[in-house]
Every structure is written in C-alpha cells, then in structure tokens.
Chains A and B, each alone.
Chain A
Amino acid sequence: MNNEEFLNTVKKAIVEGNKDEALQLAKRSIAEKMDLNEVIEKGYIRGIKKVGQLWEEGEYFLPELIISAECMKAAMKIMQPELEKAQIDVRSAGKIVIGTVEGDIHDIGKNLVSSVLSTNGFDVVDLGSDVKLEKFIEKAEEVNANLICLSALLTTTMTGQKKFIELLKEKGLFGRFKVMVGGAPVNQKWADDIGADGYSENALTAVRVAKKLVEKQSR
C-alpha cells in the first residue's frame, strides 16, 4: 500500500467509525515510523472533516458523529505521546475546560461537544456533570485554559451559567477566560444577556465559535 492509499484507509476508518481499524492504523504508522503529522493531517483530520460534512449534508446523524469522534479520540490518544516524544510541536487549537453546571446531570450533548472539540485539535478537560462553579475556575487556572464551556439542560440549572459569570467578576477573572454556554434551554439571547462570550447550538458550530473565541482571547 503506498502512502496515499494508507492515508485514505485512515480517513475511511474515521468516516466509517471503525475504532479497531483507527487504532491499528495509528499503531502501524508509529511502528513504521511514518510522518505522524501527515498521517494526522491528511488521514485522521480529513476523516473527521468528512464526518462533519456528512452531518451538515444531513447524511450523518448523532450516532455516526459520536462514534467517529470516539474513534478519533482513541487514535489521537495513541499518537499524542509519540508526537511529544519526537518533540513535534503539536499545534493545539486551544485549551478548554468543559462541564455541565452543578445541579444538572445531563451530559449527552456536552459529551458530544467535548469529543468533537478534542477531535478538532483542542485540549479538552471534561469535568463531567454536576460541576461546582468554583471547580470550573480552579481547573481553568490550573491548566491555563483559553475557554470555559458550560452546559445546562434544565431551565432551573441554566441560571448557574449566569452565576458563573458573576463569580468570575467577583474574583476579578472576567475576561481572563472566554466563556461559552450551551444546552437545550440556552440561546444566543440568554448568552448575550448574561455576558457570555459565545453560544452554540450543536457540537459542530461549537468548534467554529470556540476557534473564534480562542483567537480573540490570545490577541
């Protein structure tokens, strides 16, 4: 199999959501000392971009999206340390701390966003659900995050997102991190009203918004 064929096989593994294959190919590319950056850019990333395209076209739905994202995550977990070993500068799209606000245990959407963000080059620290507001700040400071993402499904817990922004202000940290909010009851107006920097309604637009916010933040 020549290089181009190999890269296509990698892409295919992601598009078809074949985790075993994605992992095998990752291991193989390491063992055969291939150009890992190329394998990632032209193999894995092309694959996840195709998945995004199929979603936009209404061909792929949530199960395909999440399975492909999981494959990507698994493969990257293997590739990452190798890249660090070889001291290849892995350009991270940014550091994100994400979680579902305290009092709320809903996490399907948040998990999807977390997966898709990490497969798009972000370093994502997922704090899970029912996360105390202080914990978001603690972790964001610890990892020097660019962006904090808060999810809420209930109208009774989404006020936690408002309280979070107030907490940041109290601590003099407002503006230090960009804040993005999401979840079923959340919308752009709510995000604007509470002073959040961004809002997205699904995992794919989340990537676009996150990229823009990180760009703004690092200026």
Chain B
Amino acid sequence: MIRTLSPKLELLSNELIQKIIDEAYSILENQGVFIENKEALNLFREAGMKVDASSQRVRITAKLIENSLSSTPPSLKIYDRSGEIEYLLGGDEVHFDPGSVAVTILDSETQQERKAVTNDLIRFARLTDCLEHIHFQSTGILSTDVSEIVSDSYRLYIGLLFSKKPIVTGTFRIEGFDPMHRMLVAIRGSEKNLAEKPLAIFDACPSPPLKWSNLTAQSLIDSARAGIPSELISMGMTGAAAPVTIAGTLVQHVVENLSGLVICQLAKKGAPVIFGGCPVSFDMRKGTTPIGAIETMMIDSAYVQIGKHFNLPTHSYMGMSDAKINDAQGGFETGIGTILAALSGVNVISGAGILDFIRCQSLEKLVVDNEICGMAYRLIKGIAQRGDPIALDLFKDFAADTQFLSMSHTRKWYREEHTFPNLIDRDQYDIWVSKGRKSITDRAKEEVESLLQKNPPPLPDEETQKALKEIMLSDAQRNDMLSLPEISFP
C-alpha cells in the first residue's frame, strides 16, 4: 500500500529559518533579555552567564542554548484525569483545546457578552468534556463570583471537577502555583505520579519585547521542578511590541522562547517544554490585536515550523475570531485558522470557542468549532490508497447501469472515508425550512443544552472531590474569602 501523505504547510525556507535563528542567537548573546526574577538570575549566574544585577539583563551564550535544547525532550505525553488515556505531543500530532482566558462569556440566550460566574465555568468544562475533537480542556474563563486573587486556582478547581480531559492552565500569581500543584497531586496521588503522568500544562508568557517577569519566570521554574510541562507563550505585537515585519517578529519570538526554555532547563534538566505563542499582527488603525488576521496565522505557522526545526513540541493560539458575535466573520476566521494550524502540524492548538480578541468564550461557538476541528482532522488524515487495486475491480463489469451505491466496496469504506458532521447544515432546502430556517448558531444553542442534559458531570470520586475542595477552600480563606460559591448542576 502506498504510504498516505499527511498534507503540510510550510511558509519558511530552510535558509530563512536559519537566518532568523542566527539573529536570535546574536540577540541572546549580545543584547540578552530582561529577567525580573532573583532565582532565575541566580541560575544564570551559576551557569556562568553574564548577569547585570541592576538592569536584570542576562546574556545567554550559544553554548548554553544548545545544551538546553539538547536536554529538552522532543516529545511528551499528557494524560487524562484517570491517567489511562495518553496523548502524544510531538511530531505532527494535533490536539485542540479551548482558547483561554476569556473575561466574558457570550450569553446563550441573548448572544451578548456578559461576565461569567461559577455556573458558566461548570457548563464550559462539562461541554468540553463531551466534544470529540477537542482533546484537552483549558481553564478558559474567569469567574467573577470569587475573589480575583484566587481566580487561577478556582478555574483549575472547577475544570478538574467537571471534565476528565487533560487541562491547559497557568498561574496569575506566584502563590497560585502551590494550591494548583497540590490539586493536581491530589488527583494523581503523589508528586512522583504527577511528574510521570502530567495532567496539566502551565502556560507562561514573556512580556514583549524580551522580558520574563517575576511571575512568569517563577512559573517556569516551579513547573519544571514539579514535572509540569511549561508552554511558552511569546506574544509579540508587530510594529508595537515586536518588529513590524513578520520575519522580524519571528526573530523576537525565537529569542523569547529560547530564553524561557533555558530557564526551564536550568531549573531542572530535562524539563518538558512546549514551544508556543500568541503573537499578533497589530492593527495600526484600531490599536487592536486581531487573532483572526491572516498575518497573525502566518506568524503562528512560521514559528511552529521553527519550533519543529528545534525538534520541540509546539503550540499556538489559532482557530479563533475577533468578531463579537457568532456571525460569518466568527466562522471564516476560525475556519481558516483551524485548517492552517492543522496543516502546520501544531501539537497543541488553543482557540476553540473564542471571540473578541480572546476576551470572550461562547459555548455555542465551542460546539461549532468542534466540527471545524473535525474537518481539520479529516484533512490531515490525508488520502489513503485504501485498496489494491484502488478501483480497477470496481470497473471490471462496467456497464451502462453501473452504480456504486449498492456495492459492498461502498458499504465497506464510506464511513472511513467520509465524515458526518452534526451541526453543519446539509439538508435539502425544503427540509431546512421545515426545521425552522435555523442558522448553525441556532442549532448550536440546542446542541449545547442537549449535550449537557445527556451527559452527567464526570465528577471524580468523593475522596478526590473532598481533597480538591479542601485545597481550594484553604486558598480562598487565606485570601479573605470565607466560603466558595455553591456548586450545582442540572
């Protein structure tokens, strides 16, 4: 059987990749990066790097970068809550997760943005748990019914209760790491088990240009030592917080990600790191950060290509829209981005459900985006030979009345070869009318409710629930919150 080709998108020539990397190395060695974290600065000093204490500027040599790259695993596995389902992050394996972190939710009734509360986070996690093509969940929404200080631990708490899927998350404060880590350990049973079977990925964003803040550098260090994969989210804004040319922004992206990777390896050699990001093509007319811009997607695809050149697991924020409602823009920006991401072989693709520059999550969009992800998966599965011969035997008795519908070959292959989307409309016109002339968003609304009704929340066992609650409550009480919001679910 002829090997099936997996379609691939590559925007950069090897020559351009090399030149970008060369310039990144040069900046790291000559200009360095700012690192606002004492422990990280010490790690660099101990590694013999030039550290300027007053400016907190660190110059990183090519040798240290090379060593760090060689000790970083080229792939990693993350696991679901049970520890039994594993997912490979490496090569061109593709996994989708909902975009994060939204500060509003698109109300299902009114289709307008509003602040989210615990119940929304619960619905979000439960819904994600049901969606076939979204392999991971994320702590994608901020809840406004808890003290801001514990937003990070709280969103993780709800996510761990209401979905079994591996979770993409991160800290908002240095103190957030400990309760969040303990929650993960409570699920796995021990720190060792957690390190062996990671359940969560912690995102950390450098501040463009070229700076790791105290919080984010600490997240890299703490995560590395706990065996939690760090996802580096370099987020240059072209012409504003990064060079205006795409190639220029890629240079900055490589500098920022490599410096983060070095911090991880210095904290713990062999720590799992994901080369990721959320850069944008800054809109010079509106002063906004469009994640749906084609240039944004090009930057994403290109830096991932560079990440693969470094033989690292990759991530990107793709498959999202800047539209404020579920309209055509919401559809096509997401569609284009998702397909490009899959063709680029990005290992972790964050973005499903997202509107409004990542400010808003929409449950209706999430179920629609799940179908787009399904389309992407079918695309990268490619065109297989399927049989030898391919079709000669089907035409053997070719006659005027030959039809394929009743052939056993058709019965054998049709479900493998073709997908059956759920929400996408393929009805004949009259049938569409008789069903109420619904848009995909109308059908998505019904689907959200239907999925939630049919699928009870996948809570962990009583003991684990209790352990998680204790950790969350104690974090809340340490921060002047006497009790947690009521948790209920239909």
Contact = CB atoms under 8 A, between A and B. Distances in A.
Given A105-B207, A108-B240, A155 B103 contact: yes
A63 B103 contact: no
Interface in A97-111: 105, 108-109
A185 B103 contact: yes
B248 interface: no
Nearest to A159: B148
A155 B142 contact: yes
B33 to A, nearest CB: 15
A125 B235 CA distance: 29
Interface residues of B, number: 17
B148 A156 contact: yes
A162 to B, nearest CB: 12
Given A155-B103, A156-B172, A109 B287 contact: yes
**Interface SS, B side:** loop
Interface in B229-268: 237, 239-241, 244
Contact of B284 (A61, A105, A185): A61
Given A63-B239, A108-B240, A155-B142, A202 B103 contact: no
B285 interface: yes
Contacts of A109: 287
A81 interface: no
Contacts of A156: 148, 151, 172
A43 to B, nearest CB: 27
A108 B324 CA distance: 24
Interface in A28-65: 58, 61-63
Interface string B170-193: 001000000000000000000000
A62 B241 CA distance: 13
Scoring B142, B213, B287, B288 by chain A CB atoms within 10 A of each residue's CB, the highest score goes to B287
A108 B172 contact: no
A100 to B, nearest CB: 12
Given A155-B103, A159-B148, A62 B172 contact: no
B148 A62 contact: no
Nearest to A107: B241
Most B Cβ at <10 Å: residue of A58, A61, A159: A61
Interface string A192-203: 000000000010
Given A156-B172, A159-B148, A108 B284 contact: no
A62 B284 contact: yes
Given A62-B287, A184-B288, 16 more contacts: A58-B285, A61-B284, A61-B285, A62-B284, A63-B244, A105-B207, A105-B213, A108-B237, A108-B240, A109-B287, A112-B287, A155-B142, A156-B151, A156-B172, A185-B103, A185-B359
Interface of A: 58, 61-63, 105, 108-109, 112, 155-156, 159, 184-185, 202
9 contacts: A58-B285, A61-B285, A62-B240, A63-B239, A105-B207, A108-B240, A156-B151, A156-B172, A159-B148
